[in-house]
Structure 1
Amino acid sequence: MSDRGEDTLVPDPVRAAYAYLGAVTERPTAQLWDLVDAVGAVEAAHRIRAGQVGDALVSQTEARRSRVRPDDLLGEAAEVGARLLVPGDPGWPAAALDPLDRPRRRRGSGRGAVETALRPLGLWWRGPADPTTVVHRSVAVVGTRAPTPYGRAVTADVTSGVAAEGFTVVSGGAFGIDAAAHRAVLGAGGTTIAVLAGGVDRLYPRGNEGLLSAVAESGAVVSDQPPGTGVTRYRFLDRNRLIAALSRATVVVEAAARSGALSTAAWATVLDRPVGAVPGPVTSVASTGCHLLVRDGRAVLVGRTADVVELAGDMGETTPPPTGHASSWDDLDDVTRRVLEALPTTGGAVPAEVAASAGVPPSTARAVLGRLLVDGAVLRGPSGWRRSGHTGRQLTLPVD
């Protein structure tokens, strides 16, 4: 961060309070965030430590409230060059994380259903990458821990390609596709972020310690778990929501029918972020999950860098407008144009209605809507989807 940005960092007592609040429960809870929103982080931490809270929070915090030492956590982070990023800091990626605060209920049914969760109370950030910059232009690449040579090759090709286009690649630091993605980006001189299931001072898996150290030196290793925290199965699942939230799109390269990568894809869907899946041989078990995503309309098929840039990039990015054109809609691809024109300017429409009006598959409509939501060209309200009418760019409907 710049010196100017550091002048506006939240005060140390507030940071220490967030460090305490982020560690006193296993996960962020509705009751905890309600208290923070009502009285502020410092007072919330004081009340929890004193046991002066409602029964639900007493139950959630009883095991840890007297054990958590926020100054020790901040010190342990500093020893490995990490810092705690909290709400109110200049680099806090609010736009990326706020959608995690949607109503906490089970969405979907059967395969792909996920339990929604609240945004983290802080991110332990180890590395020089600027959070605001990398989240604005990022793509998650995830997949199996036991990839085929084909999966490794596709991962290396796609991730080095999007890195060359200026995208940050977000993954989970695990063996297999995750590691292949991180290595390819580092080799291309790009920026990559590894989101861990444990503390940023415990680089895991140990077999990837050298790789994760290199990621931390040029990009960032990130976690919402405090320093000293080990990994568990449910923490791996919890961190998947952060991989999806910190990315504008998620790409699954290879995944079995039951896979953590599919959990990340499900989170992306909940957050209205587009999902892409790389096809593989129909005989390959490693590609079964990708084929299911495409078959069920939960992902669009991608196979090369241009597909991923189109999925995660700004509108019309794959076809830059020629000089002299006043509108960034002039050279949009046909599908994006049709989806935009199918949206009302008032009220709202559900994705199925948009898909029918635009004449595109529902999965394509959802992917385009997710990308346009991140770009600011559309809004999603109680009545459904509609055009926003404005963005940071000049956007006007083309006239035939």
Structure 2
Amino acid sequence: MTLFGLEESVIVGLARGVHPGGDESERDAPADVFARAAWTGIAEPGDGVAGLLVGSLGASVALTAVLETWTPERLAVTVRESGVAGEELESELEQGLQRWRPRLSSAEVIHSLQQAARVSARLLLPSDPLWPASLDDLGLHAPIALWWRGDPAAFHALPHAVALVGARAATGYGEHVAMEAAAGLVDRGFAIVSGAAYGIDGMAHRAALASEGITLAFLAGGVDRHYPTGHDALISRIAEVGAVVSELPCGAAPTKWRFLQRNRLIAAAGAATVVVEAGWRSGSLNTAGHAAALGRPLGAVPGPVTSPASAGCHRLIREFDAVCVTTAAEMAELAGEGVWALDRIEAEGAAGGTDSRTSEEIRVLDALSRRSPRPVPDIARRAGMSTAAVLGALGALDLDGVVSERETGWVSIGRGT
């Protein structure tokens, strides 16, 4: 018997290699594990149409529909039968199929599953007891599955976790505040969530580990690709006593778009988000926006009024009603209090409003090379977009002077990116 064009025994073996705790009495369990693993590579993080399709039909049926080249009309009828309505449903599904089909590769799925088993990575499904229920607040944009390495107990600490984020180019002041905050929160029984980046993220993780606390790092690439490479030892240590988590399969490279999407997981996972230090256009403001959109309490640490590194925090406090927090005690109080309404930052930050590029433009730039021209179909496959959307983004980027068309394809020329 075959599943997804492969021998059933192959599917079962690969699924058990990354999800050994599944209920083997359920015949469809290995198929669901394999299908969700495949979807983590087929769809980009936060793809709401993929979330809709998988949520309506189940991961296995949804994958089968893409493999068997169902028409958008047939898919829309099937989705509506599950109780989902929408005037633009057929159009959204058609665009989704254009994004997903170029990425269909059983060889790549098999390779990512084999690599995950080699590095002892596991796949977490929404039906698993360890699944972070807070991520379900993302709705259709919630992860289809999560890849992780580490101690399962780390997931039990998420309901009492605080996300500490901030600038990569942190000052000594910012790193000192992050260290004191993380250690103080750990002493109060909180776990620390962050993104393992340089600067504030790294200091927050290190302080939590030094205080023998639990910390979780959400990555923008595969859990087998430690990024930044300078934090290889830190991320390895987090994987030993905490957890390293990603919604991308092993081998996946981090890109600017994936960092922005990763931020929504950091914001959703914590009971509160605190921006420790951030410039006016810091990426951590994107995390703050996601926190506001989800109704999570948001705090910001003030800094010297003359410091550009704290301008983003001051903006959050002045313009978006973030709570001014200066100590671990105040951050802990924030995590235990009610919801703060931050409508303006929800509108700007959740959509990545701190970046002048559209999401499509960011993804196309991520997919381009500065040396090797790439044709439109290759760019579409790398970006997880339809060719029509790629052409539209390339047109805008060409007018802005940051891409150029060569005889064999398009290249990034770097200006303004």
Task: Say whether the fold is shared (TM-score over 0.5).
Answer: yes
Q: Give how far 1:190 is off.
A: 0.4
Higher helix share: 2
CA contact (8 A) 2:164 2:201 kept: yes
Q: Give how far 1:37 is off.
A: 2.6
Alignment-mate amino acid for residue 27 of structure 1:
P
Q: Quick check: 1:162 aligned with 2:162? A: no
> How far, CA to CA, are the matches of 1:92 and 1:273 in structure 2?
19
> How far, CA to CA, are the matches of 1:129 and 1:169 in structure 2?
15
Alignment partner of 1:142: what SS?
strand
Q: Give how far 1:39 is off.
A: 2.3
Q: Quick check: 1:41 aligned with 2:59? A: yes
Q: Quick check: 1:80 aligned with 2:119? A: yes
Alignment-mate amino acid for residue 194 of structure 2:
S
Aligned to 1:31: 49
The within-5 A match list for 1:1-400 is: 6=21, 8=23, 11-54=29-72, 55-66=94-105, 69-94=108-133, 96-101=134-139, 118-130=141-153, 132-313=155-336
CA-to-aligned-CA distance 1:313-363 (integer Å, 9 cap, x gap)? 3x5xxxxxxxxxxxxxxxxxxxx7xx9xxxxxxxxxxx8xxxxxxxxxx76
> How far, CA to CA, are the matches of 2:107 and 2:135 in structure 1?
25
Q: Which runs of 5+ in 2 are unaligned?
A: 1-19, 73-93, 346-417
CA contact (8 A) 2:276 2:301 kept: yes
CA contact (8 A) 1:22 1:28 kept: no
CA-to-aligned-CA distance 1:41-95 (integer Å, 9 cap, x gap)? 111111112222422332021210135643432221122221010111111123x
> How far, CA to CA, are the matches of 1:234 and 1:201 in structure 2?
19
> How far, CA to CA, are the matches of 2:35 and 2:154 in structure 1?
21
Alignment-mate amino acid for residue 260 of structure 2:
L
CA-to-aligned-CA distance 1:257-285 (integer Å, 9 cap, x gap)? 00111100010000000111011110011
Pairs aligned (count): 301
Q: Give how far 1:226 is off.
A: 1.0
Alignment partner of 1:58: what SS?
helix
Q: Which runs of 5+ in 1 are unaligned?
A: 103-117, 316-335, 340-350, 352-361, 367-400
Alignment partner of 2:281: what SS?
coil
Q: Kindly indicate whether structure 1 or structure 2 has the higher relative contact order, using CA contacts under 8 Å at least 6 residues apart.
A: 2
Alignment partner of 2:148: what SS?
strand
> How far, CA to CA, are the matches of 1:155 and 1:121 in structure 2?
32
Q: Give how far 1:27 is off.
A: 3.1
Aligned to 1:112: none
Q: CA RMSD in A?
A: 2.3
Q: Give how far 1:242 is off.
A: 0.6
Change (3 A) 1:298 1:59: farther
Alignment partner of 2:167: what SS?
coil
Alignment-mate amino acid for residue 58 of structure 2:
G
